[in-house]
Structure 1
Amino acid sequence: MKRLIQQHLASLLICMAATHAQAQAQRVNRGHDPFFQISKAISDCPAPLGPLETEQEWLDDSHYRIERGNSCWVEGRCRLSNAYLYDAEIADAVQRRLTNINYATHWREQSTLWLTLQRRFIYVQGCVAPGFDKQMFLAELAKTADVDRVIDDTTTNPHAASLPYKTLADPDKPVIDPGN
C-alpha cells in the first residue's frame, strides 16, 4: 500500500512539473500590443507570431521595451511619456487610413496581411501578390497619424522555406532578412 501511494505521488509530481513547464512556455501578448489581420486574399499565407511571447522572452525584452518606450519622450520626439501609449490610437487611425488608401493601392485584393503596432512602429507581416506595389502601400500606411516607422516583413511566396517573420505554427524557426 505504501509503495502504491509513493507511485501515485511520484506520478502526480511528474504531471505537475509537466504542467508547470507547459505554462512557462505559453505565448501571450503580454504587452497588449495591437495585432490584427487586415486582409485574406492570398491562400496558405502563414500566420505570423505577432507580439506573442513566452514569459522568459517577455522578461528578456523588458529592459529594451522600457528604454525604447521612454527614449521617445526624453528626446522630445513624443508628446506622451511612452511611445507604447500611442499604439491603441494608431490602431484606430490605421483602420481609417487603410480604408482611404484601398482605392489607390488595391491592397485588400492582393494581400494577406497582419499588422503589429509597437511603440509607434507598424510591422506589416504576411503575403503580397508578385505585382503588388508594396512600396506605395507602405509609404501610404506610414502617413498614418503618430506613426514613426513602417517595417516590411512580407513575402511573395507563402511556401518559401524561410520567411521574413516568425510564424504561429513554428515560432522558433529562424527568419530571413526581417525588415527590422
Structure 2
Amino acid sequence: MTFDYRCMLYALMLVTAGTHAEEDLQNRGHDPFFQVSSAISNCPEPAGPRVNEAEWKRESHHRVEHGNHCWLEGRCRLPNAFAYDEEIADSARRRLQWLSANLAGWRQSTLWVTVWQRWLLVQGCVSPDFPLAPFMAALREVPDVERVIDETTAHPERGVPYAQFRKGSSSQSSMKADAVNSPVP
C-alpha cells in the first residue's frame, strides 16, 4: 500500500488548529471559495483558502509541486491541477442547482465549498437529518473532481472540524473580493 503524501500535506493544511485572525489573510492562490447555503445561523465561517503571507510562502513550493503532479503522472489533460478549479466551481454550482430541485433537504445547512487542485472541500454545518451521503455522492459526480472532502458537523455547539475565520477588521472587504462568494440560488 502506497501512502499518498499529498493527502497528508493537504489534510495538515486544512486542520491547522485554531481560529485565523483576519489581519492579512487573503485567498492568495485565487482558489474558488463560496458559500452555498445559510440555514443554520450559529455555524462558524471557515478560514477557507485565506492564508497570511508567511503561510503562503511556506506552502508555495508544495502547491506548485502538487499542481504539476497529476500532469506528470498522466492523470490530467491540463498541465496543472489548479487549472481545473474555476471550471469545477462552475460545474459544482450547476450541480447544486440541480440538487435544489432533486434533493431539497440539502438546503438545511450552512455550507462553504473550496475548490483546490481538483478537490472539493465542503465545510460547515448540517441539520441532523441532512442527506449527507446523497449530497456528497452528487458532488463526486462533478466532472474532473478527484476527491470530495467532508468537513461538516450536525453539532456546531460541540465544535467544527475546520479552522475558523474571524470577522471584524477592515481588510474583510478586500478578502471577500478575492473569494468567489456568490451563493447558489
Shift of 1:139: 0.8
How many residues in Structure 1 have an aligned counterpart in Structure 2?
145
Match of 1:131 in 2: 129
Deviation at 1:155, TM superposition (A): 0.7
Match of 1:156 in 2: 154
Structure 2 residues not aligned, in runs of 5+ = 1-22, 168-185
Distance across 2 between alignment mates of 1:135 and 1:61: 32
Q: Is 1:121 aligned to residue 104 of structure 2? A: no
How far residue 43 of structure 1 moved from its aligned partner, in angstroms, is 1.1
Corresponding residue number in structure 2 for 1:62: 60
Whole-angstrom distance in 2 between the partners of 1:107 and 1:117: 23
> Do 1:40 and 1:108's aligned partners in 2 also have CA atoms closer than 8 Å?
no
Write the mapping of 1:102-117 to structure 2, written as runs, cut at 5 A: 102-117=100-115
Q: What SS does the corresponding residue of 1:40 show, helix, strand or coil?
A: coil
User: Aligned partners of 1:132 and 1:107: how far apart in 2?
Assistant: 6
Q: Which amino acid aligns with 2:38?
A: K
Counterpart of 2:18 in structure 1 is: none
Q: How is 1:1-180 mapped onto 2 (pairs within 5 angstroms)?
A: 26-160=24-158, 162-169=159-166
TM-score (norm 1): 0.77
Unaligned runs of 5+ in 1: 1-24, 171-180
Cα deviation, 1:32-84, whole Å, max 9, x if unaligned, reads 00000000111111001000001010011111111111001111110000000
Computing the radius of gyration from Cα coordinates, the structure with the larger value is: 1
Secondary structure of the residue aligned to 2:107 is helix
8 Å contact from structure 1 (residues 107, 137) kept in 2: no
Please give the TM-score of this superposition, normalised by the length of structure 2.
Answer: 0.75
Q: Distance in 2 between matches of 1:169 and 1:27?
A: 10
Q: Offset of 1:108 from its aligned partner?
A: 4.5
Identity %: 51
Aligned residues: CA RMSD: 1.4
